[in-house]
Amino acid sequence: MKRVSLAAVFVISACLSPSAAPAEEQELPKNPVLVWNDLALQAVRATSASDAAAARAYAMLNVAVYDAVNGIDSANSLFGRGHALVPPNGAPRHGSRYAAAAAAADAVLRVVFPAQAPGFDAELAAELAALGNSSRVTTGRAWGTEVGQQVVAARQDDGSTPVEVQPGGTAPGEFRANWSGAQFRRLLPFGIQDPSRYVTSGPPPLTSPEYAAGFAEVQVIGNAAIPDADALATFQFWNSAAGTSQPPGEWIKVATIVTNAQLLRFSLSGTARLFALLGMALSDVVGPTFETKFRYHHWRPATAIREAESDDNPWTTADPTWAPRAGGIGGSPEHTSGHSSFAGAGTTVLAGFFCKDAIPFDLASDSTPNVPRHYDSFSAAEFEAGRSRVLGGIHFEFSNRAGILAGRGVAQEILGNKLLRSFGPTHLGACPL
């Protein structure tokens, strides 16, 4: 028998529900939270969903799974946790939590990604068959389906549709192209009270030294004409273009990797809570990020550098032939960086949940799956993900920093206020859980 370290035991015990784990914990060889998140990643890739749409889907999935599992946990204990969206009222005490998790996931994903519904239904059928045809499984499935349907209904008019396009501008400092997806600036939050708190104060004025400094930096390090293999590789690793799981998907993948490494996969309750916190944070940073983009409508570095003669800044120099290392200019207003917002949110939830930043992991990104990278901490990955946009020549450093701060703020609010213990102490020493 393999020995489990004391550190691993602490992580598992900290994440388990206060009630004793049901016998069903041993009935399935795989954790449904991880299985269904992987299916969601695949669906985002298959549909070429946008970053905002992907974040919303991950949040809906994981909120439904958590509320389904937590409902049954709460029915079995006086020391349950707060719900994310669907209260535990009416949850069956003797329902299977595994069946509930799978059914909740299926109920959400088959609506969000209707073309993939047959595959989702097949996975649900396989998991239910593995659990057996007992009343506990039937009851758990019914509860999970109800929770999933309630989540779908609650998000029906959440601001994600209809599509809204912000026209491109022509004035100095304005983003030039039409931007499709501007409606996500009104995306209803899952876990924060006021998204406007995380809208930035905007980029520095075009005539300021601060703007000139950011301009000068990206003009050099993001210049396609200056060979830099490491910079190009870093940009490509974190690029997450259409057809990938998108930037929020990379943090779902990091959570999966660390969950397995920390043995958290043995706790259905703990895993469901981690992914619900992460999903909410990744989705809730979308609104303020997109509102910031819409409000300031800031031009990308390529336009700024090519048209610098119009910015009235004595410290900037125009280069009409300048091209970004990324190859493209960027499809949305520059300020603030969405990649950085997602990185700040993802890192903060993971470090907060595990009460430790310095957890090493290896990540193979969707953009360069055959070239994995090693990180000694969540913050190391956060830094590189944000910085990659400057190295690619499509963001200024001041927008990278602003995005990371916004993401951290959203995640800190969620960690401090959501999915906490209903009774008794919420904190484990310095750990905000």
Is residue 247's pLDDT more than 90? yes
120: nearest Cα among 137, 140, 92, 144: 144
Residue 426: pLDDT over 90: no
For 115-141, the pLDDT digits (tens) are: 999 999 999 999 999 999 999 999 999
* Domains of the chain, residue spans: 19-154, 165-417
Model pTM?
0.93
Question: What does DSSP assign to residue 167?
Answer: P
pLDDT, one tens digit per residue, over 396-405 is: 999 999 999 9
Number of H helices, E strands in the chain: 15, 4
Radius of gyration for the chain, computed over Cα atoms and rounded to the nearest angstrom: 22
Confidence of residue 17 (pLDDT cuts 50, 70, 90): very low
Cα dihedral 346, 327, 395, 54, rounded to 10, equals -30
Q: Give the per-residue pLDDT at 57.
A: 98
The CATH H-level superfamily of 19-154 is Phosphatidic acid phosphatase type 2/haloperoxidase (1.20.144.10)
At residue 326 the predicted structure's pLDDT band, cuts being 50, 70 and 90, is very high
- In the beta sheet, which residues pair with residue 374? 362
Mean pLDDT of 281-290: 98
Say which CATH class 165-417 falls into: mainly alpha
